[in-house]
Amino acid sequence: MKRFLLTICLFWGVIPLCAQDVFAPWRASWAKTAEACKPELSVETVLPSCRVEIVPDASEYQGYKAVPASTPLYGEPLEEGVPVFYDLGRHVTGYLTVNFQITRRCQDAPVRLRLFFGELPSEMTAPLEPWASDLGRGWMQEEILTVEDLSRPLEIPRRLSGRYLSIELLSGSRGFDFTVSEVSFKAVSSASFSEYAPDGNSAGALYDRALNTLRECMQTVYEDGPKRDRRLWGIDAYFGTLSNNSTFKNHNLTKRCLYLLASLSSEEGLLFADVFETPSPHPQDGNISLDCSLFYPRMLLEYAKATGDVETVRDLWPVVVRQVEAAKEHLTAEGLFCPSVTGKYSWLIFDWNEGLDRDVQTQGIMIWALRGCSQLAEMIGERRRSAEFDAFANKMAKAVLKHCYDRRARLFVSGPERQVSWNSQIWMVVSGVVSGERAVAALESVARDPKALTPGTPAANHFLVEAYLMSGLNSKAGELLTSYWGGMVTDQTDTLFEVYDPSNDYTSPYGSWQVNSYCHLWSTTPLFFFRTATSSPQSLRD
Ligand code: RAM
């Protein structure tokens, strides 16, 4: 209670906001709680299901597939320049060990090997040079090494994530031959490997892939993608919370992430968009994003709704209030988001969508966050604060309806160019600015506009499903889950992707599809929709 009173003092003027570190009274305790919530990782040994050949097939995603090889799993002597490929049978994250066996004479020279670990068949044969991405080539799971003693297990220290392995002899010796005698992989996750094993759930393959993806991303934090970026992002953790609440219910993982983000916030009390756990917890400095920080109250709300843990809401209340108060500095007096007031934020993150005008979207995200803050305030008995949050949300809703709603076209337009985008309509529905017939009209009007910018990521499409469900357009929600997420279901992968464009297998915000993550947390929320929609009066399946 003392902490809570201190909060009241801090945020209502008794402790001056000009303090060096606004969260100094709580930061150490938040870090301690985050550490105390660190989960143990389950470990499962996975052996390859078979040797495979990577063959072109225009009918497959990105034009390649892995087909079982006629050769035995082990025993064939490695030939220089001829890689051998293994399929581990499913996407795994963890640590690889390879054992070798001399098949002719004895080792008389060190050998140079190239190991490559990938998520898709196409990754296994695609050239890495010239490197085309603006992200580091280091993300590619390629290990070039010299082995002096093939009698010892080769343990790769780097954590790997994917499904396919290639082993290539770059340089051997005429004096002897050797083969791979065993490949084994220690898969790790903070989610159980047995619970919720693919059960042919009525949603079938999509549900199973979403579950596999979630399990892979649930490490000692919610990782956005276990191959890349391998770290805690505020936005992705929100989606992970929804999916985890609907499946594994490892609520301590969510709690850890909430406390870790809080403990690593800036001295001005702003949340960083992403944080690292190692070598010791630290934020990606310089990466503070207004829209990302507004997902935090909603993540806390989903955690609190699932657990009833009001104490944590109270403990993290200063973080919630600070994010919203700071965002308010970017509004006009009328309550309209004004991006020109960049201030403390480095960028707006939501949705990889070239050319998207984010004014209306950010207005919606903030109203959505405020509505969440109002519910959190109710939970901790702060009725006056709850009413204040709602009143401010109403003010912002009134302002965006006044300035950005095109009554003739019956949809919202964003920015000085009055841009029409799906994202603007989605966020005006999700935030409750429009509902009922007006919400349906906005979603149907934008669908009729061929020039309207479409959602850029599964994260944005998640909110389109939400908008459809909130507008009673359940069959459209079901169609979108089936067509968009269903489009990621291939028999060459068993996870869901960071980026997916039904019209272009090679789309990438990074300049190279090879560095895309094909196992990404924000794509797992069919797990949430299948669980919650079936409990709603109108199921996704109606
Ligand atoms: C990339 C990843 C990550 C996302 C950020 C905004 O780094 O897709 O998951 O949260 O962008």
In this prediction, residue 196 carries a pLDDT of: 65
Q: What angle do CA 346, 349, 355 make, to 5 degrees?
A: 105
Distance from residue 272's CA to the centre of ligand 1 (Å): 13
Q: What is the pTM of this model?
A: 0.94
Contact between residue 300 and residue 316 where contact means Cβ atoms under 8 Å apart: yes
pLDDT tens, position by position, 363-376: 999 999 999 999 99
Distance from residue 71's CA to the centre of ligand 1 (Å): 40
Q: How confident is the model at residue 19 (pLDDT cuts 50, 70, 90)?
A: low
DSSP secondary structure string for all residues of 462-531: HHHHHHHHHTT-HHHHHHHIIIIIGGG--TT-SS--SS--TT-TT--TTS-GGGS-SS-GGG-THHHHHH
Percent of the chain residues topping a pLDDT of 70: 92
pLDDT tens, position by position, 224-262: 999 999 999 999 999 999 999 999 999 999 999 999 999
In this prediction, residue 353 carries a pLDDT of: 86
For the segment 98-123, the average pLDDT, to the nearest whole number, is 98
**Peptide bond before residue 279 is cis, with ω within 30 degrees of 0:** yes
Distance from residue 525's CA to the centre of ligand 1 (Å): 16
pLDDT tens, position by position, 46-81: 999 899 999 999 999 999 999 999 999 999 999 999
- DSSP three-state, residue 71: coil
Q: DSSP letter for 271, please.
A: P
In this prediction, residue 203 carries a pLDDT of: 56
Distance from residue 222's CA to the centre of ligand 1 (Å): 12
What is the token pair recorded at 515?
Answer: 């560095």
Q: Which residues line ligand 1 (CB under 6 A)?
A: 224, 229, 233, 235-236, 349, 498
- Residue 536, pLDDT > 50, answer no
Distance from residue 386's CA to the centre of ligand 1 (Å): 31
* Mutate-to-test residue for ligand 1 from 133, 223, 235, highest number of ligand atoms within 8 A of CB: 235
Distance from residue 518's CA to the centre of ligand 1 (Å): 13
* Mutate-to-test residue for ligand 1 from 213, 221, 223, 236, highest number of ligand atoms within 8 A of CB: 236
* Mutate-to-test residue for ligand 1 from 229, 345, 507, 515, highest number of ligand atoms within 8 A of CB: 229
Distance from residue 223's CA to the centre of ligand 1 (Å): 10
Q: What is the mean pLDDT of the chain?
A: 93
For residue 522, the ligand 1 atom closest to its alpha carbon is 9
Shortest-distance Cα residue to atom 1 of ligand 1: 229
pLDDT tens, position by position, 184-199: 999 999 998 887 655 4
Helices (H), 267-340: 290-293, 295-307, 310-315, 317-328
For residue 498, the ligand 1 atom closest to its alpha carbon is 8
What is the token pair recorded at 41?
Answer: 């990782």
Burial class (CB in 10 A: 0-12, 13-18, 19+), 531: middle
Distance from residue 13's CA to the centre of ligand 1 (Å): 36
* Mutate-to-test residue for ligand 1 from 135, 214, 217, 233, highest number of ligand atoms within 8 A of CB: 233
- Residue 12, pLDDT > 50, answer no
Q: How confident is the model at residue 419 (pLDDT cuts 50, 70, 90)?
A: very high
- Residue 316, pLDDT > 50, answer yes
Distance from residue 499's CA to the centre of ligand 1 (Å): 10
- List, in order, residues 6 or more apart from 173 with CB less than 8 Å away: 107, 108, 109, 111
What is the token pair recorded at 348?
Answer: 């707006």
Distance from residue 237's CA to the centre of ligand 1 (Å): 11
For residue 349, the ligand 1 atom closest to its alpha carbon is 6
Distance from residue 224's CA to the centre of ligand 1 (Å): 7
Percent of the chain residues topping a pLDDT of 90: 88
In this prediction, residue 339 carries a pLDDT of: 73
In this prediction, residue 11 carries a pLDDT of: 47
Distance from residue 73's CA to the centre of ligand 1 (Å): 37
For the segment 318-341, the average pLDDT, to the nearest whole number, is 90
- Residue 341, pLDDT > 70, answer no
- Residue 108, pLDDT > 90, answer yes
Cα 482 from Cα 475, distance rounded (Å): 10
- Residue 92, pLDDT > 80, answer yes
- Residue 415, pLDDT > 70, answer yes
Shortest-distance Cα residue to atom 8 of ligand 1: 498
In this prediction, residue 132 carries a pLDDT of: 96
Shortest-distance Cα residue to atom 9 of ligand 1: 224
For residue 229, the ligand 1 atom closest to its alpha carbon is 7
pLDDT tens, position by position, 127-164: 999 999 999 999 999 999 999 999 999 999 999 999 99
In this prediction, residue 10 carries a pLDDT of: 47
Helices (H), 352-451: 359-379, 383-404, 422-430, 436-447
- Residue 395, pLDDT > 80, answer yes
Show contacts of 308-313: CB within 8 Å, 24+ apart. Answer: 309/251, 309/255, 310/379, 310/380, 312/255, 312/258, 313/376, 313/379, 313/380
For residue 235, the ligand 1 atom closest to its alpha carbon is 10
* Mutate-to-test residue for ligand 1 from 498, 507, 513, highest number of ligand atoms within 8 A of CB: 498
- Residue 17, pLDDT > 60, answer no
Show contacts of 174-177: CB within 8 Å, 24+ apart. Answer: 175/105, 175/108, 175/109, 176/102, 176/104, 176/105, 176/106, 176/107, 176/108, 177/77, 177/78, 177/102, 177/103, 177/104, 177/105
In this prediction, residue 542 carries a pLDDT of: 38
Distance from residue 74's CA to the centre of ligand 1 (Å): 39
- Total length of the chain: 542
In this prediction, residue 532 carries a pLDDT of: 82
In this prediction, residue 346 carries a pLDDT of: 65
pLDDT tens, position by position, 467-495: 999 999 999 999 999 999 999 999 899 99
Shortest-distance Cα residue to atom 7 of ligand 1: 229
In this prediction, residue 537 carries a pLDDT of: 36
pLDDT tens, position by position, 37-47: 999 999 999 99
For the segment 415-444, the average pLDDT, to the nearest whole number, is 97
In this prediction, residue 418 carries a pLDDT of: 97
Identity of the amino acid at 330: H
